[in-house]
Amino acid sequence: MSFYGLVDGSEKSLIHFLDQLSGVDQVGAEARAAMLATRSIKTSSKKWAIETAISMVDLTTLEGADTPGKVRALCSKAVRPDPTDPTVPSVGAICVYNDMVEIARTHLDAIGGKHVPVAAVSTAFPSGRASMEVKIQDTQDAINAGAAEIDMVIDRGAFLAGKYGLVFDEIVKIREVCGDKAHLKVIFETGELVTYDNVRKASYLAMLAGADFIKTSTGKVAPAATPPVVLVMLEAVRDFYSMTKRRIGVKPAGGIRTTKDAIKQLVLVNETAGPEWLTPNLFRIGASALLNDLLMQRMKMSDGYYASPNYVTID
Amino acid sequence: MTFEYAPAPESRSIVSIKPKYGHFINGSFVAGKKHFPTINPATEEILSHISLGGASDVDKAVMAAQKAYTKTWSKLTGKERGKYLYRIARILQERAREFAVLETLDNGKPIRETRDIDIPLVAAHFFYHAGWADKLDYAGLGHSPAPYGVAGQIIPWNFPLLMLAWKVAPALATGNTVVLKPAETTSLTALLFAEVCQQAELPDGVVNIVTGDGSTGAAIVNHPGIHKIAFTGSTDVGKKIARAIASTDKKATLELGGKGANIVFDDAPVDETVEGIVNGIFFNQGHVCCAGSRLIVQESIAEEIIEKLKVRMAKIRVGDPLDKNTDLGAINSKEQLNKINELSAVGDAEGAERWSPQCTLSNKGYWFAPTIFTGVTQAHRIAQEEIFGPVLSVLTFRTPQEAIDKANNSPFGLSAGIWSEKGSRIFWASQHLKAGVIWANTFNKFDPASPFGGYKESGWGREGGKHGLAAYLKNGKETGAK
């Protein structure tokens, strides 16, 4: 087996590959992210950024209390985020638990949202603590129900124990299950990996194993998608592209609630991975509350004043 | 789809610039006789006219400073002096945006840097030294350390207000009074600082500001009423000052030029190192005496570092200094631009390979694209002489010892940087580098508590920290007052 001609899939080859990666200096990475956060995005560029961010939102509900009604409401929002303005783009995807995939897919198709994919969280999300058989079945179920995107979690316990081969094999297997039916996003739970060195290593493990996207967090652990974590992941996809000529997507998720936060993420993308990544095919933002703030800021840009929150829909 | 940042200019309405300025002597502005224009180097717009101070203006300022020293300032307790310094620091913070905009207009440096670095550090220097004012007897500086009297201070154009703060804050904290001359091309923030002194009700004559050129500076250096000189600027002028005071009892601190070595080992954290290289040489248009202007990189990773550096340099935003998204502003003066052009042409002639990213430079004002020269060796002039602009010379090494030898093989010794993830290598290298300031895995970080100064032709003495205080004090032993 060969993965991009870079590793042969054995633990030895993985360790060798990860060992030669440059370390991340924590202070320097945080300083760079903080500097980029000072970019001032105004007028036409702000309008563009809001529009783009809306199209990148993976509108998410991942609660024990999720019901078909709740999911259907979210689907309506995903297709037409602002019912009064058809020029607002649909979001990037709907992100739900496995058992809600079919409901979401059916409803989206029924309301003219065929273009909005459904993403399912998988592999015993959020902890990843289950047998491989269960994880495979979990993924297969989601795909059978119509999921076009699989957001899997890695086994953080294995990663922290240095069992990179195990983490890698799981991703490879889930990649096989996805086949050409679903895109694979690999969630690291960076709040549990803690160091930027680990984030960089996990990024390469996932990319080598066949991930289409690398994703920061489940949304269940804080800190989640902090700007320096996203910076390190964007550096990884940039450098992976120069090695393999394949662009891997990045999905920050968790803690991005305001338009300001979202624009900071877009600036990070623009000045790290580059403008080629500024498309929903290569950058998504996992969020729920963010969408309404984007819509309110969008209204403010066109009307010149902040409307009451009652002018955006709650779902 | 591209993400073009729309212009985001900081408003200049917060500053009001007078058409003409005098000197600040004995607590008030006095008209000068001759004037010269000061311009915005980004547009060549004339901002104002500055007085050209002559010997008589300097004399008046020194007399005022002497009087203030004898009658008021030396009579105050350290605690009382500290109150004035705290007050100045708070006013500087309150008026930070005004100072940042004015500094950017007059100097050409980006507003992001004046707003986030220069002005906050200025306030920090006053706060820091305010705290020392009443603790000098207990600072290990000898028994009852005493001020010299009147300090003559001459500052450069690269960090106009910050260099003023480095000079004025320790002088006042230690009980000296001051005659200060800002650089010819950047007097405006010093003159606004004079207003702050008035606002803080600092006693008249404690701070005096005489504007002018080199002749004004010479008059300060040679004035018999001045007991202590503090100079930041070129090594050439520093040498002239050293000669001028050689036969006097004047004390001096000199912060002069540099050709900082930024050493990158093969185990460096690559992405942050590239950031550090950019920060080392392109911060403040490279107008930094401690700039990391020589990149000394291990040959085995040189290619990777240069490649990534070029990608990063292509992202540097060059343009309107008042735009909040600008990374690299204007060169401070035509004279300086000529010098950068001259030395860069020397680099070409010596066979080094020049590279700059594509960037559009305005026809008006003074601009120079961020530039690197690769294939540079010790024998190149651009590896030896200070360019003082956004120009990096790249050299390589094979062994750690060779890196140290090359770094130290310079008449200067102001700063150095070490990039490595290996702690023991950082300690080893920092012990063997002959430089006053050494940064590890970072560059161009400043703090008032940290002494700053150079080896060899980079200067005499230290500024900042406890060491910086000592430069403004005679200790008990020296005065024989014990």
- Based on the domain organization, do B188 and B220 belong to the same domain? yes
User: Residues B272, B441: contact at Cβ < 8 Å?
Assistant: yes
Q: How confident is the model at residue B98, as a pLDDT?
A: 98
B413: nearest Cα among B435, B430, B431? B435
What pLDDT, on a 0 to 100 scale, did the predictor assign at position B54?
97
Q: Mean pLDDT in chain A?
A: 97
State the architecture of A11-301 in CATH terms.
Answer: Alpha-Beta Barrel (3.20)
The predicted pLDDT at position B1 comes to 59
Domain ranges for chain A, please list them.
11-301
B6/A contact by beta carbon, under 8 A:
yes
Condensed to tens digits (0 to 9), the pLDDT of residues A187-206 reads 999 999 999 999 999 999 99
Is A251 tagged catalytic? yes
Residues of A in contact with B112 (CB under 8 A): 38
B352 and B464: one domain?
A: no
Instruction: Provide mean pLDDT across the span B23-38.
Output: 98
Q: What are the strands of the beta sheet with B228-232, ordered from one edge?
A: B28-30, B23-25, B207-209, B177-181, B150-154, B228-232, B251-255, B459-460
Mean pLDDT of B144-149: 94
> B279 lies in a domain?
yes
Across the interface, which of B1, B6, B421 has its CB nearest the CB of A23? B421
- The question of whether B359 is a catalytic residue gets the answer no
Q: Is residue B437 part of a domain?
A: yes
- Inter-chain CB proximity A39 and B272 less than 8 Å: no
Q: Which member of A25, A31, A278 has the closest CB to residue B3?
A: A278
Inside any domain, residue B441: yes
Q: Identify all chain A residues contacting B442, using CB atoms and an 8 Å cutoff.
A: 27-28, 31
Residues in chain B: 482
Predicted confidence at residue B89, as pLDDT, reads 98
Same domain? For B405 and B464 the reply is no
Nearest CA in chain B to A32: B275
Cβ contacts below 8 Å, chain A against chain B, sum to 74
Q: CATH number for the domain including B49?
A: 3.40.605.10
Q: Are residues B176 and B28 in the same domain?
A: yes
A279 contacts in B (CB within 8 Å)?
A: 1
**pLDDT above 70 as % of chain A:** 100
Render pLDDT for B160-200 as a digit per residue (tens, 0 to 9): 999 999 999 999 999 999 999 999 999 999 999 999 999 99
Select the residue of A22, A49, A275 nearest B269 (Cβ to Cβ): A22
- The residue in chain B having the minimum alpha-carbon distance to the alpha carbon of residue A271 is B315
DSSP SS3 for B131: helix
> How many Å lie between the alpha carbon of A190 and the closest alpha carbon of chain B?
19
Task: Give the pLDDT confidence score for residue A307 in this predicted structure.
Answer: 84
Residues β-bridged to residue A95: A60, A119
How do residues B243-274 score in pLDDT, each as one tens digit?
A: 999 999 999 999 999 999 999 999 999 999 99
The reply to whether B283 and B354 lie within a common domain is yes
- Average pLDDT of span A283-311: 93
Given CA atoms B211, B216, B220, B221 in this order, what sign does their dihedral have? positive
Number of domains in chain B: 2
- The pTM (predicted TM-score) of the whole model is 0.96
B454: pLDDT strictly greater than 70: yes
Same domain, B267 and B251: no
Cα–Cα separations (whole angstroms), residue A231 to A221, A234, A263, B106: 19, 5, 14, 35
* pLDDT for the residue A17: 98
Residues B474 and B381 in one domain: no
Domain holding B52, by residue range, is 23-256+458-479
pLDDT of B477 > 50? The answer is: no
Query: Mean pLDDT across the stretch B37-55?
Result: 98
CB contact under 8 A, A22 and B325: no
Specify whether B232 is located in the same domain as B275. no
Q: Which residue stretches of B174-201 are H helix?
A: 188-199
Beta strands in B162-219 (DSSP E): 177-181, 207-209
What is the CATH number for B321? 3.40.309.10
- Reported as a pLDDT band with limits 50, 70 and 90, residue A309 is confident
Mean pLDDT over B311-331 rounds to 98
Residue B55 and residue A176: Cα distance in Å, rounded? 85
Is some CB atom of chain A closer than 8 A to the CB atom of B348? no
pLDDT at residue B480 above 50?
A: no
- Residue A239's closest chain B neighbor by CA? B308
pLDDT of residue A308: 86
Tell me the pLDDT band of B319, cut-offs 50, 70 and 90. Answer: very high
Q: How far apart are CA B281 and CA B304, in angstroms?
A: 19
Q: What DSSP line would sit under chain A, residue for residue?
A: --BTTTB-SSHHHHHHHHHTSPP--HHHHHHHHHHHTT----HHHHHHHHHHHHHHEEEE---TT--HHHHHHHHHHHH-SSTT-TTSPP-SEEEEEGGGHHHHHHHHHHTT-TTS-EEEEESSTTTT-S-HHHHHHHHHHHHHTT-SEEEEEP-HHHHHTT-HHHHHHHHHHHHHHHTTTSEEEEE--HHHH-SHHHHHHHHHHHHHHT-SEEE---SSSSS-S-HHHHHHHHHHHHHHHHHHS-PPEEE-BSS--SHHHHHHHHHHHHHHT-GGG-STTTB-EEESTHHHHHHHHHHHHHHSSPPPGGGS---
Residues B442 and B464 in one domain: no
Find the closest chain A residue to B314 by CA distance: A271
pLDDT over 80 at B233, yes or no:
yes
Residues B78 and B178 in one domain: yes
Select the residue of A39, A235, A275 nearest B325 (Cβ to Cβ). Answer: A39
Residues B385-425: tens digit of each pLDDT: 999 999 999 999 999 999 999 999 999 999 999 999 999 99
B318 and B418 fall within a common domain? yes
∠ at Cα B418 (B414, B423), nearest 5°? 130
Token reading at A311: 């002018």
Active-site option among B10, B98, B289, B463: B289
Is residue A152 scored above 90 in pLDDT?
yes
Residue B243 and residue B278 in one domain: no
Q: B303 at the A interface (CB within 8 A)?
A: no
Q: Is B275 on the interface with A (CB under 8 A)?
A: yes
> Averaged over B447-468, what is the pLDDT?
95
Residue to test with chain A: of B1, B3, B10, most A Cβ within 10 A: B3
Task: Please give the torsion angle defined by the CA atoms of residues A269, A274, A275 and A276, in that order, rounded to the nearest 10 degrees.
Answer: -110
Indicate if the pLDDT at residue A278 is higher than 90: yes
In a domain, B381, yes or no: yes
Confidence bin at B36 (pLDDT 50/70/90): very high
Do B250 and B62 touch, CB atoms closer than 8 A? no
Neighbours of B424 (CB within 10 A): 8
Mean pLDDT, residues A195-222: 98
